[in-house]
């Protein structure tokens, strides 16, 4: 289970999150929806403890344990994972080496073959990680890293953006696999394709707070009909 | 008479400064009497060779400590294949090929260091000859060690790989424990005959106060290949080398340099490839990092003298503190249409974005830095024999551990 209580956070001295409350139970996939600049990536970064985001108030729980004050690596070792929207390119570090090191670190070396096959990464293993990768290749490789972390809670930042339809299907399968293993999964997405395939709850983030939560299909319908600005009426949980 | 004139010209070159690198006053160092000795070097020296440059004492074909060459060690099993490994001084008396190559690729009056080696070196060093068509699977190991400190060590090495033959020579250079200071001048002349292949790995483990001036030239004949892997991973007062590789028609060379500069030293390294024949190609790859007030100059040059040639230079530098300096000097020049020459050079620091990413995947900051450094220093070199590859892995681990703490 991933839980956030009253989270306030700033980036470069400007408050972006104004008290976010959110809960994703184990084994469920929840969507985080919202317009550009709503604070979605900042929220995931704050939960992960990334250094460019300063958390000023609130608490983050992984299961029963609070992780708010832990460094990112320790959160990761306790089972929290963040799949970056745009992972950085690595010079000299092969994707195969990155995957091996992550697998060694999280005790999942035996999963390597299966993950590489699931995400169709064979042709990328000898290349420098994320360097010159296409949109789909980047997302699939980053998801592989996330799967090898065998997380208890995974946050995926736009895993379907810039991705061809075939890759979206692969990405969706990987997300379902995470949930089947019991992980709490929070997915930021802008596209309806992935949103419609992943049936679960959705949360609408607007101006740094969660304005509404409810069944994903229902929320998507309302967004299509009225736009993000009109979803903070009924239906919030 | 001609010999006397040439010798006089070399004598004049004793005051000729090198084109690159800090000038070293040769008179600061002691000249020892060069000698060829019977027997093994001291056991502690052999043990250090294993520890510092990874050479197994039993497999070393040539060991030179200071100005003493130990020739018992050269009676190697390689003889069974017709491979010759002997002191150059002896080879120059017995072998016409050695005489033909000696000082033909490196001119003795090139600078004060070559001149000193020519006049005072006594032709210590190794001579390796690989007969036509022979493929030597195991690396041929040689070791050059300073001895007491404060002395000049001269070494003149010739490797001749005959037509269609293949060999890999590995030379470890080191300083025994406790020895500080000294000057190493190494002259290396390599001849790669048509269709032959030579791999050469040079592992430098020097010490503070030591100055190192290798002077290397390689001739690669038609269809031949030369692969050089050059790793410098210790403190040194200064090291400057600019090997020249000349490539005939269809020949190929790859020069890889890994430099970890530290402790205020000056590391001026790289090389020059000259594409003389149609279809010749060269690749030069440098990975350099500088810390603790050190300076690295990575010079790489490819000259195309004819069309239908290809060359690429890749130089990546990492500056690990603000007291150090990295200069990258890539030069590509073409004298003929139809040559394809490219270069890529970049100097930076370890990326904070990369570090933050790895921390989010479960690595501490120190582990993230080590992983990035390791990746930076790893250069694909398929031509390396497995034994050398594992030694290089060990060296890269050592560099990373020292740099990250």
Q: For residues B64-91, give the mean pLDDT.
A: 82
pLDDT attached to residue B162: 98
Can you tell me the distance from the alpha carbon of B147 to that of A159, in angstroms, rounded to the nearest whole number? 61
Per-residue model confidence (pLDDT) at position B224: 98
Per residue in A104-152, pLDDT (tens digit) is: 999 999 999 999 999 999 999 999 999 999 988 999 999 999 999 999 9
pLDDT of residue A27: 96
Among A residues 110-129, those touching chain B with beta carbons less than 8 Å apart = 128
pLDDT value, residue A237:
40
Q: Is A229 on the interface with B (CB under 8 A)?
A: no
* Rg of chain B in Å (alpha carbons): 21
Whether residue A235 has pLDDT greater than 70: no
Lowest-confidence segment of A220-234, B13-27, B331-345 by average pLDDT: A220-234
pLDDT tens figures, A3-58: 999 999 999 999 999 999 999 999 999 999 999 999 999 999 999 999 999 999 99
Q: Do residue B360 and residue A93 have CB atoms under 8 angstroms apart? A: no
pLDDT at B388 over 90: no
* Residue A97 contacts B where some CB pair is shorter than 8 Å: yes
Whether residue B2 is predicted with pLDDT greater than 70 in this model: the reply is no
Check CB contact of A96 with chain B, cutoff 8 Å: no
Question: How high is the mean pLDDT of chain A?
Answer: 92
| CB-count exposure of residue A10 (10 Å: 0-12, 13-18, 19+) | middle
Q: How far is CA B69 from CA B30, B72, B168, in A?
A: 18, 9, 21
pLDDT tens digits, B282-295: 999 999 999 999 99
Give the mean model confidence (pLDDT) for residues B37-64.
81
Q: How far is CA B81 from CA A1, A78, B73, B94, B132, in A?
A: 68, 59, 17, 19, 11
The DSSP line for B25-50 is -GGGSBPPPPEEESSPPPHHHHHHHH
> What pLDDT score was predicted for residue B310?
98
Q: Do A73 and B371 touch (CB under 8 A)?
A: no
- Rounded to the nearest angstrom, the minimum Cα separation between A100 and chain B is 12
Contact in structure between A69 and A77 (CB atoms under 8 Å):
no
pLDDT at B72: 59
Distance from C-alpha of A214 to C-alpha of A235, rounded to nearest angstrom: 6
Q: Residue A164: is its pLDDT beyond 90?
A: no
Distance of CA B241 to CAs A4, A73, B296, B300, B377, Å? 60, 43, 12, 11, 20
CA atoms of A2 and A182, how far apart (whole Å): 12
* B256 neighbourhood in chain A, CB within 8 Å: none
User: CA angle at residue A196 from A194 to A199, to 5 degrees?
Assistant: 105
> What's the mean pLDDT in B67-93?
82
Q: A52 and B372: CB-CB below 8 Å?
A: no
DSSP letter (8 states) at residue A148? H
In terms of pLDDT, which residue wins out, B147 or B126? B126
When pLDDT is averaged across residues A225-237 and rounded to a whole number, the result is: 64
- Give every CB contact of residue B301 below 8 A, 6+ residues apart in sequence: B270, B271, B272, B273, B313, B330, B331, B332, B333
What pLDDT sits at residue B175? 87
Question: Which residue in this structure is represented by tokens 């402790």?
Answer: B263
Are A50 and B356 in contact (CB < 8 Å)? yes
* ipTM for this model: 0.95
3-class DSSP state of A180: helix
Give the Cα separation of A214 and B67 in Å (integer).
83
Q: Is A32 on the interface with B (CB under 8 A)?
A: no
Q: Nearest CA to B338 among B310, B300, B302?
A: B310
* Mean pLDDT, rounded, of chain B: 92
pLDDT tier for residue B13 given thresholds of 50, 70 and 90: very high
Q: Which of A50, A84, A92 lies closest to B376 in CB terms?
A: A92
Q: Determine phi and psi for B4, rounding to 5 degrees.
A: -65, -40
Residue from A46, A74, A77, A88 to probe the interface with B (highest B Cβ count within 10 Å): A88
User: Chain A residue with minimal CA distance to B356?
Assistant: A50
Question: Is A226 in CB contact (< 8 Å) with chain B?
Answer: no
CB burial class (10 A; 0-12, 13-18, 19+) of residue B234? buried
Whether the predicted pLDDT of B38 surpasses 80 = no
> How far does the CA of residue B375 sit from the closest CA of chain A (Å)?
4
Residues 58-77 (A) with a CB less than 8 A from some CB of B = 71-73, 76-77
Taking the C-alpha atoms of residue B4 and residue B360, their distance in angstroms, rounded to an integer, is: 71
In this predicted model, which residue has the larger pLDDT, A166 or B1?
A: A166
Report the alpha-carbon distance of residue B86 to residue B107 in Å, rounded: 23
Average pLDDT of the residues in B206-234: 96
Cα–Cα distance measured from residue A235 to residue A218, given in angstroms and rounded to the nearest whole number:
9
Query: What is the DSSP track for A26-41?
Result: TT-EEEEE--TTSSHH
Q: Which residues of B touch A101 (CB under 8 A)?
A: 363, 371
**Test mutation, B286, B344, B357, chain A, max A CBs within 10 A:** B357
């Amino acid at each position: 289970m991933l839980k956030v209580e009253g989270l306030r956070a700033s980036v470069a001295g400007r408050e972006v999150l104004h008290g976010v409350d959110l809960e994703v139970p184990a084994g469920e996939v929840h969507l985080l929806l919202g317009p550009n600049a709503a604070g979605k990536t900042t929220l995931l970064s704050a939960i992960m403890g990334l250094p460019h985001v300063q958390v000023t108030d609130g608490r983050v729980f992984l299961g029963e344990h609070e992780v708010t004050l832990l460094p990112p690596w320790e959160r990761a070792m306790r089972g929290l994972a963040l799949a970056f929207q745009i992972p950085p390119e690595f010079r000299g570090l092969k994707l195969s080496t990155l995957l091996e090191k992550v697998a060694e670190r999280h005790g999942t070396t035996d999963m390597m073959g299966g993950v590489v096959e699931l995400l169709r990464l064979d042709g990328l293993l000898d290349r420098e990680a994320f360097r010159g990768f296409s949109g789909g290749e980047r997302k699939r490789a980053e998801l592989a890293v996330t799967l090898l972390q065998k997380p208890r809670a995974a946050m995926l930042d736009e895993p379907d953006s810039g991705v061809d339809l075939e890759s979206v299907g692969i990405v969706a399968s990987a997300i379902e696999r995470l949930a089947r293993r019991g992980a709490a999964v929070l997915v930021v997405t802008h596209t309806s394709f992935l949103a419609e395939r992943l049936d679960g709850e959705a949360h609408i983030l607007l101006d740094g707070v969660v304005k509404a939560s409810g069944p994903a299909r229902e929320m998507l319908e309302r967004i299509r009909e009225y736009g993000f600005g009109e979803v903070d009426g009924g239906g919030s949980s | 008479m001609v010999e006397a004139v040439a010798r006089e010209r070399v004598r004049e070159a004793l005051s000729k400064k090198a084109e690159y690198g800090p000038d070293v006053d040769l008179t600061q160092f002691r000249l020892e009497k060069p000698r060829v000795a019977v027997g093994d070097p001291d056991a502690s020296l052999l043990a250090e060779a294993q520890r510092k440059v990874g050479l197994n004492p039993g497999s070393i074909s040539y060991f030179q400590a200071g100005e003493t060459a130990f020739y018992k060690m050269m009676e190697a099993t390689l003889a069974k294949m017709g491979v010759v490994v002997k002191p150059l001084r002896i080879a120059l008396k017995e072998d016409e090929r050695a005489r033909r190559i000696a000082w033909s690729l490196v001119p003795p009056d090139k600078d004060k260091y070559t001149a000193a080696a020519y006049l005072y070196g006594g032709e210590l060093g190794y001579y390796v000859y690989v007969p036509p068509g022979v493929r030597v699977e195991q690396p041929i190991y040689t070791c050059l060690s300073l001895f007491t400190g404060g002395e000049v060590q001269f070494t003149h090495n010739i490797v001749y790989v005959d037509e269609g033959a293949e060999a890999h020579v590995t030379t470890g250079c080191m300083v025994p424990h406790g020895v500080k200071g000294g000057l190493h001048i190494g002259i290396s002349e390599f001849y790669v005959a048509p269709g032959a292949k030579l791999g050469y790995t040079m592992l430098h483990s020097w010490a503070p106060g030591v100055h190192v001036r290798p002077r290397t030239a390689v001739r690669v004949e038609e269809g031949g290949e030369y692969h050089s892997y050059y790793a410098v991973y210790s403190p040194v007062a200064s090291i400057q080398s600019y090997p020249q590789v000349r490539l005939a028609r269809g020949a190929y060379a790859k020069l890889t340099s890994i430099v970890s500069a530290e402790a205020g030293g000056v590391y001026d390294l790289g090389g020059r490839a000259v594409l003389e024949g149609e279809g010749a190609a060269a690749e030069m790859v440098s990975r350099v990092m500088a810390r603790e007030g050190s300076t690295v100059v990575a010079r790489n040059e490819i000259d195309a003298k004819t069309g239908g040639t290809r060359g690429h230079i890749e130089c990546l530098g990492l500056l690990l503190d603000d007291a150090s300096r990295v200069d990258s000097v890539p030069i590509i020049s073409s004298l003929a249409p139809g040559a394809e020459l490219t270069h890529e050079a970049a100097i930076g620091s370890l990326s904070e974005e990369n570090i933050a990413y790895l921390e989010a995947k479960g690595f501490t900051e120190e582990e993230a830095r080590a992983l990035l450094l390791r990746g930076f220093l790893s250069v694909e070199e398929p031509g390396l024999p497995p034994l050398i590859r594992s030694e290089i892995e060990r060296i890269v681990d050592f560099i990373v551990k020292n740099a990250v703490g």
